[in-house]
């Protein structure tokens, strides 16, 4: 039970970040190099979530002589915080950075009046109204909602009042974080936050009653405001609910190669979540396909386990999995269980482990024996970021399916799309599944890197956080669906990926598929079959 409490306290695959990462967050720039998000796919399909186009009207105050770049920067700062606000309503936004459409800017000049000091000198500012558009994933509970009210932050005074924001508008377990991650953790639904937002709004409205030209005047309190109530407006996003993976293309080169990477959670934890998810994946996949045989390409004997300097007899993958996941039947002579577990996990880290079998695959009447190879890796990408990028690059160039389960590092880190040039990706059909925190926001940028875009890439991501607990099992269910010969559609696969957690049944983190609208697979057309060979 204490481990469940620990899971809830640490929450999800996206919230654990190093101090170095937080520093990098604070210096990152926001982008507007594209017209809105024109590179993104125009469709999404999910089991428990739906896609929406989102539009929002906001405004900023800037100096009268402010450049368009300065205006765009202020708007982007305001809209980046919308990510956290939307997240608190279980709405996942599509962009890692707000992409600002400058053509939506509508500017006028206003006079700033200090209503607390009648007759005091006035000053002028430029008020810029704008429309921000993005794509969103919302839960089925919001499927009929056309609007969702929320709150974002006003750029003026944001950094200088960070402690006030964190104290009132972030969960208790994030109070020790800095201003660098307010954009992620800002939660206007908290009671204390709602109260200060309402109080500020009432004070602004009271001040405005003293204005003689309310259309052309604003108050000092209004300009210095911290919070801005806004409304997200939703319209449907196209989707193909009957779409399947392009199974015929996954096997068209007479082989199937899947990569599955698992990131370390805590190096010195004998119950490391990264390891537990890795072995949960190994257990589920080998149970679904008993024909899979294990090998270690670098020659390491991962099944040689020692206790007190002596080899433990009869060690198998199943036995190691029992120790890691079930915590029972430890070898004779083990007196310090945490020490034994930690040594075992360290032994398995940093090695590729392959699971291989052969199967007869039939497509449109053509039968051939196809090798199926699942290449897995559990390691520490925090301390080996360059090594992780190198491993992922090799996988992208070769894989039919790329899968990652672990921390998303707020979108930074080795899997950041910015680490990969377009030349990394082959001109072939691939699946990219990222089972980590809010991966819908971070990783759909791979569409603009991949040759052919949606024609050659489907992404499987989630709109809200994935819990550490159960992530390995949901990843395994996705991978096995591609090699079990059932050839199910995406909705059925996503439905099967729900996992029962100690505190929630059938958990689904608003998981969705993008890029599926142009998929052509159907059993009626391709008549596929898959039968493992002995």
Q: How far apart are CA 121 and CA 109, in angstroms?
A: 17
Q: Residue 30's pLDDT band (boundaries 50, 70, 90)?
A: very low
Tell whether 479 and 359 lie within a shared domain. Answer: yes
Q: Is 318 exposed, middle or buried (0-12, 13-18, 19+ CB in 10 A)?
A: exposed
Q: What is the pLDDT of residues 301-346, one digit of tens each?
A: 999 999 999 999 999 999 999 999 999 999 999 999 999 999 999 9
Q: Is the pLDDT assigned to residue 238 strictly greater than 90?
A: no
φ, ψ dihedrals at 364, nearest 5°: 50, 45
Asked if residue 32 is part of any domain, the answer here is no
- Long-range pairs of 60-64 with CB within 8 A, sequence gap ≥ 24: 60/127, 60/128, 60/130, 60/154, 60/155, 61/110, 61/125, 61/126, 61/127, 61/128, 61/156, 61/218, 61/223, 62/125, 62/126, 62/128, 63/125, 63/126, 64/109, 64/124, 64/125, 64/126
Q: Is the pLDDT assigned to residue 525 strictly greater than 70?
A: yes
Tell whether 230 and 254 lie within a shared domain. Answer: no
pLDDT at 155: 79
Residue 445, Cα to own-chain centre: how many angstroms? 12
Q: Residue 17's pLDDT band (boundaries 50, 70, 90)?
A: very low
Asked if residue 375 is part of any domain, the answer here is yes
Domain span at residue 336 reads 302-350
Q: Residue 41's pLDDT band (boundaries 50, 70, 90)?
A: low
Tell whether 124 and 73 lie within a shared domain. Answer: yes
pTM (predicted TM-score)? 0.84
Tell whether 202 and 310 lie within a shared domain. Answer: no
Please give the biggest Cα pair distance in the chain. 91
Tell whether 409 and 262 lie within a shared domain. Answer: yes
Q: How far apart are CA 229 and CA 233, in angstroms?
A: 13
Q: Is the pLDDT assigned to residue 20 strictly greater than 60?
A: no
10 Å Cβ neighbour count for 403? 25
Tell whether 191 and 314 lie within a shared domain. Answer: no
Tell whether 445 and 465 lie within a shared domain. Answer: yes
pLDDT at 311: 97
Tell whether 315 and 341 lie within a shared domain. Answer: yes
Asked if residue 24 is part of any domain, the answer here is no
Tell whether 121 and 201 lie within a shared domain. Answer: yes
Tell whether 344 and 356 lie within a shared domain. Answer: no
Q: Is 359 exposed, middle or buried (0-12, 13-18, 19+ CB in 10 A)?
A: buried
CATH number where 296 lies: 3.40.50
Q: How far apart are CA 335 and CA 346, in angstroms?
A: 18
Tell whether 340 and 372 lie within a shared domain. Answer: no
Q: How far apart are CA 290 and CA 283, in angstroms?
A: 10
Asked if residue 4 is part of any domain, the answer here is no
Angle between helical axes of 191-208 and 162-169 (0-180°, round to 10): 120
Tell whether 197 and 256 lie within a shared domain. Answer: no
Asked if residue 213 is part of any domain, the answer here is yes
Q: Residue 42's pLDDT band (boundaries 50, 70, 90)?
A: low
Q: Residue 1's pLDDT band (boundaries 50, 70, 90)?
A: very low
Residue closest to 413 by CA, chosen among 386, 376, 441: 386
Residues 82-87, mean pLDDT to the nearest whole number: 94
Q: What is the DSSP string of 90-136?
A: T-EES-SS----GGG-EEEEEEEE-TTSTTPPPEEEEEEEEEEEEEE
Q: Residue 25's pLDDT band (boundaries 50, 70, 90)?
A: very low
pLDDT at 355: 98
Q: What is the pLDDT of residues 259-287, one digit of tens each?
A: 999 999 999 999 999 999 999 999 999 99
Asked if residue 340 is part of any domain, the answer here is yes
- Domain count of the chain? 3
Residues 62-80, mean pLDDT to the nearest whole number: 95
Q: How far apart are CA 54 and CA 445, in angstroms?
A: 18
Residues 100-115, mean pLDDT to the nearest whole number: 96
Q: How far apart are CA 276 and CA 270, in angstroms?
A: 10
Q: What Å distances lie between residue 458 and 44, 93, 512, CA to CA?
A: 10, 18, 10
Q: What is the DSSP string of 22-72?
A: HHHHHHPPP---SSTTTTS-SB-EESSEEEEEEEEEEEEEE-TT--HHHHH
Ramachandran category for residue 254: left, alpha or beta (phi over 0 → left; psi -120 to 50 → alpha): left
- Domain termination site, one of 317, 350, 383: 350
């Amino acid at each position: 039970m204490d481990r469940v409490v620990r899971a809830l306290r640490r929450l999800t695959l996206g919230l654990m970040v190093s101090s170095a990462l937080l520093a990098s967050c604070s210096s990152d720039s926001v982008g507007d190099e594209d017209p809105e998000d024109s590179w993104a796919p125009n469709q999404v399909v999910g089991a428990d979530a739906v896609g929406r186009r989102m539009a929002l009207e906001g405004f900023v105050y800037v100096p009268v002589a402010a450049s368009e770049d300065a205006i765009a920067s202020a708007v982007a700062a305001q809209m980046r915080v919308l990510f956290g606000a939307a997240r608190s309503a279980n709405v996942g936004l599509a962009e890692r950075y707000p992409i600002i459409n400058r053509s939506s800017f509508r500017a006028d000049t206003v006079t700033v009046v200090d209503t607390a000091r009648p007759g005091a000198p006035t000053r002028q500012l430029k008020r810029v109204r704008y429309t921000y558009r993005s794509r969103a994933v919302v839960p089925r509970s919001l499927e009929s909602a056309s609007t969702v009210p929320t709150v974002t932050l006003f750029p003026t005074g944001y950094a200088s009042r960070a402690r006030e924001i964190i104290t009132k508008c972030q969960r208790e377990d994030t109070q020790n974080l800095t201003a660098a991650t307010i954009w992620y953790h800002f939660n206007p639904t908290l009671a204390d936050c709602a109260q200060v937002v309402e109080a500020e709004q009432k004070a602004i409205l009271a001040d405005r009653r003293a204005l003689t030209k309310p259309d052309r005047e604003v108050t000092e309190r209004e300009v210095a405001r911290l919070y801005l109530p806004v409304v997200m407006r939703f319209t449907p996003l196209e989707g193909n609910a009957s779409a399947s993976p392009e199974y015929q293309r996954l096997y068209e080169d007479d082989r199937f190669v899947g990569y599955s990477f698992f990131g370390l959670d805590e190096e010195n934890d004998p119950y490391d979540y990264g390891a537990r998810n890795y072995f949960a994946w190994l257990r589920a996949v080998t149970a679904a396909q008993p024909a899979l045989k294990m090998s270690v390409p670098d020659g390491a004997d991962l099944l040689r386990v020692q206790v007190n300097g002596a080899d433990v007899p009869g060690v198998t993958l199943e036995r190691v999995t029992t120790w890691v996941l079930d915590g029972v039947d430890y070898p004779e002579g083990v007196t310090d269980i945490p020490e034994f577990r930690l040594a075992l996990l360290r032994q398995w880290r940093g090695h590729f482990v392959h699971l291989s079998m052969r199967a007869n695959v039939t497509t449109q009447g053509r039968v051939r024996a196809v090798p199926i190879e699942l290449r897995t890796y559990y390691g520490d990408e925090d301390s080996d970021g360059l090594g992780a990028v190198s491993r992922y690059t090799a996988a992208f160039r070769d894989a039919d399916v790329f899968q990652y389960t672990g921390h998303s590092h707020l979108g930074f880190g080795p899997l950041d799309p910015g680490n990969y040039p377009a030349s990394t990706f082959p001109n072939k059909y691939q699946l990219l599944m990222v089972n980590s925190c809010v991966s819908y926001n971070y990783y759909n940028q791979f569409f603009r890197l991949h040759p052919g875009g949606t024609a050659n890439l489907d992404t499987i991501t989630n709109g809200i956080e994935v819990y550490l607990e159960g992530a390995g099992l949901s990843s395994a269910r996705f991978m096995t669906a591609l090699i079990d010969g059932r050839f199910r559609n995406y909705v059925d696969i996503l439905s099967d990926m729900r996992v029962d957690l100690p505190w929630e049944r059938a958990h689904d983190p608003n998981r969705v598929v993008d890029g599926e609208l142009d998929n052509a697979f159907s059993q009626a057309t391709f008549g596929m079959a898959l039968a493992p060979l002995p």
